[in-house]
């Protein structure tokens, strides 16, 4: 065993767990990860909830009660998921208090079927914040074109946000702009900016998966040499953009009003290709004021054999730009890749949500009390 997780924390990387289930809450496992493995936050998404609830562990009693009340399947899912998030938030509350609200956070996503609709996303975000009713919640809003004005509006209402499904550098800059615009609205409304937090979830491994597939199809020596480099390069250039935006004059005015920087969060950090080291997207994305949300397998791998050697982003920007340019020169369009990944990300979460609707509806019918 190593002290890699401790070292990672000391380098300014907040370790969040990319998973949640009722069993993890009730068994004491989440509390144990916080206590022993430096976990200071939890992220969820529709796929995580679909997997947790369809496994059935710990949900039977609540489903039975919901069936007896004859609630709709949509209401049932919101009651179940917000209960898990509320309980996880309570477990993480001491971390939230100790870090003045920066960590100890639990994320819950707006209905992914609303990803391309601004007004319903805003309404859903406000409803979720009210339903969970914990100060250490982050409402997840996707970084679609329709999501950007929703982010501004929700931040402007004083609700903390986790912006999800960011793949492109251009979109990431738009996300930071939406956050700053939201803070400016909140400031104009007289809200306490020190209480508003946000992270921007920049997805990592999926970029390599898609670009490597295209490089493999080319099959040239140059294409082979470019494998496994694009995802890290993309994330490192995102950090460069973060540094630029949060040292700007516009930011300085908000900083004086006690606003919090929107931290980059490395998402999708489980390595998909067995040819790469299983801690690649942890070891090579270390920088101050970042978050790395890891599946449990990546967390355990990092604890066991992670190679945390200090800041691995500083000084890499020129090389990162050259690596993305090399891929472009091989005829692989960066813009095409990141748009495809955003579209697929929205579709996958919507598909998981629909699977969750179907499996929950079947359970409600099974557990419904017989008439008479």
What's the whole-number mean pLDDT along residues 107-121?
Answer: 97
Q: Name the percent of the chain lying above pLDDT 90.
A: 95
CB 47, CB 348: distance < 8 Å: yes
Instruction: Quote the mean pLDDT of the chain.
Output: 96
Through-space distance between the first and last CA atoms of the chain, rounded to whole angstroms? 60
Chain center to CA of 294: 10
Is the pLDDT assigned to residue 1 strictly greater than 60?
Answer: no
pTM for the structure as a whole: 0.97
pLDDT in tens, 128-167: 999 999 999 999 999 999 999 999 999 999 999 999 999 9
Please state which of the ranges 44-58, 91-105, 207-221 shows the lowest mean pLDDT: 44-58
pLDDT in tens, 59-77: 999 999 999 999 999 999 9
pLDDT in tens, 209-240: 999 999 999 999 999 999 999 999 999 999 99
Which residues are catalytically annotated? 140
138: Cβ–Cβ under 8 A, 6 or more apart, which residues? 105, 106, 107, 108, 160, 161, 162, 197, 198, 199
Domain ranges of the chain: 4-366
pLDDT band at 2 (very low <50, low <70, confident <90, very high): low
pLDDT in tens, 274-300: 999 999 999 999 999 999 999 999 999
Question: In b/e form, how buried is each residue of 100-133, taking b as 16+ CB within 10 angstroms?
Answer: ebbbbbbbbbbbbbbbebbebbbebbbebbebbe
CATH pick for 4-366 out of 3.10.20.90, 3.20.20.70, 3.40.50.800, 3.40.50.1220: 3.20.20.70
């Amino acid at each position: 065993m190593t002290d890699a997780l401790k070292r990672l924390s000391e380098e300014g990387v907040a370790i969040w767990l990319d998973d949640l289930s009722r069993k993890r809450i009730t068994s004491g496992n989440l509390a144990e990860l916080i206590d022993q493995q430096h976990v200071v936050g939890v992220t969820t998404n529709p796929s995580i909830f679909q997997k947790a609830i369809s496994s059935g562990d710990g949900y039977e009693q609540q489903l039975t009660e919901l069936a007896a009340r004859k609630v709709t399947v949509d209401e049932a899912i919101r009651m179940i998921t917000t209960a898990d998030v509320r309980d996880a938030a309570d477990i993480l509350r001491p971390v939230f208090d100790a870090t003045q609200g920066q960590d100890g956070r639990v994320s819950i996503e707006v209905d992914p079927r609303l990803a391309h609709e601004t007004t319903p996303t805003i309404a859903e975000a406000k409803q979720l914040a009210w339903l969970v009713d914990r100060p250490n919640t982050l409402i997840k809003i996707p970084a679609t074109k329709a999501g950007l004005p929703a982010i501004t509006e929700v931040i402007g209402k004083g609700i903390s946000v986790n912006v999800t499904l960011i793949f492109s550098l251009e979109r990431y800059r738009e996300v930071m702009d939406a956050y700053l615009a939201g803070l400016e609205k909140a400031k104009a409304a007289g809200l306490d900016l020190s209480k508003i937090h946000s992270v921007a979830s920049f997805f990592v491994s999926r970029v390599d998966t898609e670009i490597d597939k295209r490089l493999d199809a080319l099959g040239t020596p140059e294409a082979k040499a470019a494998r496994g480099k694009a995802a890290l390069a993309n994330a490192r250039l995102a950090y460069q953009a973060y540094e630029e935006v949060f040292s700007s004059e516009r930011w300085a005015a908000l900083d004086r009003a006690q606003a919090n920087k929107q931290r980059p969060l490395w998402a999708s950090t489980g390595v998909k290709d067995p040819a790469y080291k299983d801690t690649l997207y942890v070891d090579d994305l270390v920088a101050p004021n970042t978050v790395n949300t890891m599946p449990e397998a990546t967390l355990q791998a990092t604890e066991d054999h992670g190679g945390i050697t200090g800041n691995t982003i500083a000084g890499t920007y020129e090389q990162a730009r050259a690596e993305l340019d090399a891929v472009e020169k091989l005829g692989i369009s960066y813009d095409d890749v990141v748009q495809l990944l955003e579209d697929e990300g929205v579709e996958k979460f919507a598909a998981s949500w629909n699977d969750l609707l179907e499996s929950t509806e079947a359970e409600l019918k099974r557990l419904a009390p017989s008439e008479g």
